[in-house]
Chains A and B, each alone.
Chain A
């Protein structure tokens, strides 16, 4: 089955196309650049855009792109949505999934209405993010690729395509490299045909509580994925012999994959998160992403995280 995907336009094509009345939503971190480059009115993200608007250009990270996807799907179904990622990792510009906060919970919406019509690679925007954010974004992309590959819902075609993406990612440095944009877009697009797993179950459950008690630490989805990918992958491999054999059958070395996960691991973040993981573990077990993990996650496995079994 072919994965639905948005058209890919260059920035110059975006400027040359007849878009009709157009509005831009841009993250604060890139707004001065979008105002200089895109000759359209800029509205605050989430703000209404007017009934005659034909095109919405959303420029930012996964949260802003998901907001725009939801707006188009639920409030303006005829709108053309152009997604421009300011950083790799979420792959939101290429997937039919939107993750939203609703009453303190992460809610996942999925469907063709959430798929942007067009995505525009504008890799220079990544200069606007910190080195730490760029590295965490690599962990986000790795989490999509590996959880999608190991998902019980991944068919042979998805596994084959994701194995190819994973091979490309193994050759990339952890940190700034424009090639991450395409790799993460592919990983997210493909995992949308399977599922994510425990890394996302933890990230979706803990993001709110961690932000509440540690508001200055910069908790976000990418940092949580980076922090928990290595511990979770280690758990999956210990629980399921099939996980390692699937990787190896696709020509992927388990040791190299584990090393990549270890390189995005954030020790200080883990130390800060583990007390809340213990508190929220029952909610993690109930999270929809956890329930489609590649290995069955059970209550006693909190010990794996508490004892740092992955680092032994």
Chain B
């Protein structure tokens, strides 16, 4: 499974989305469950799936799926888009 697919599956579970609701250009404002608890859950999931710790400051700055990918790229995760 590619890292893009792993991220997509993770975000479906973290934010309790139906597959049809997901897009890689989703923003936090479009996702009801991307609240403070969702941010906590997202940080836990990223640790489990990608093995990278996000500080609370890093996690709360994320405002879109693209932000998440950028934060993971900065930690060395390859999304195959180089």
Interface residues in chain A, defined as those with a beta carbon under 8 Å from any beta carbon in chain B: 152-153, 195, 239-240, 242, 285-286, 288, 291-296, 298-299
Contacts and interface: CB of A to CB of B under 8 A. Distances in A.
B13 A299 contact: yes
Task: Name the 4 nearest CB pairs between A and B, nearest first.
Answer: A291-B37, A296-B45, A298-B13, A291-B41
B47 interface: yes
A292 B48 contact: no
A294 B40 CA distance: 10
Contact of B44 (A286, A293, A299): A293
B7 interface: no
A299 B19 CA distance: 13
B40 A152 contact: yes
A65 B64 CA distance: 42
User: What class of interface size applies to chain B in its complex with A?
Assistant: 10 to 19
Interface in B38-79: 38, 40-41, 43-45, 47-48
A80 to B, nearest CB: 33
A145 B59 CA distance: 25
B13 A152 contact: no
23 contacts: A152-B40, A152-B43, A152-B44, A153-B40, A195-B40, A240-B44, A240-B48, A285-B16, A286-B16, A286-B33, A288-B37, A291-B37, A291-B38, A292-B40, A292-B41, A294-B44, A295-B44, A295-B48, A296-B13, A296-B44, A296-B45, A298-B13, A299-B13
A283 to B, nearest CB: 11
Interface of B: 10, 13-14, 16, 33, 37-38, 40-41, 43-45, 47-48
Interface centre among B14, B37, B43, B44 (most CB of A within 10 A): B44
Interface centre among A195, A285, A288, A298 (most CB of B within 10 A): A298
A249 to B, nearest CB: 15
A199 to B, nearest CB: 16
Nearest to A292: B40
A298 B13 CA distance: 6
Nearest to B49: A296
Contacts of B45: 296
Contacts of A240: 44, 47-48
A153 B41 CA distance: 10
Contacts of A153: 40
Nearest to A155: B56
Contacts of A195: 40
Given A288-B37, A296-B44, 10 more contacts: A152-B44, A195-B40, A240-B44, A240-B48, A291-B41, A293-B44, A295-B48, A296-B48, A298-B13, A299-B13
A296 B40 CA distance: 10
A296 B16 contact: no
A257 to B, nearest CB: 20
A174 B65 CA distance: 47
A242 B37 CA distance: 20
B5 to A, nearest CB: 15
A291 B48 contact: no
Nearest to A285: B16
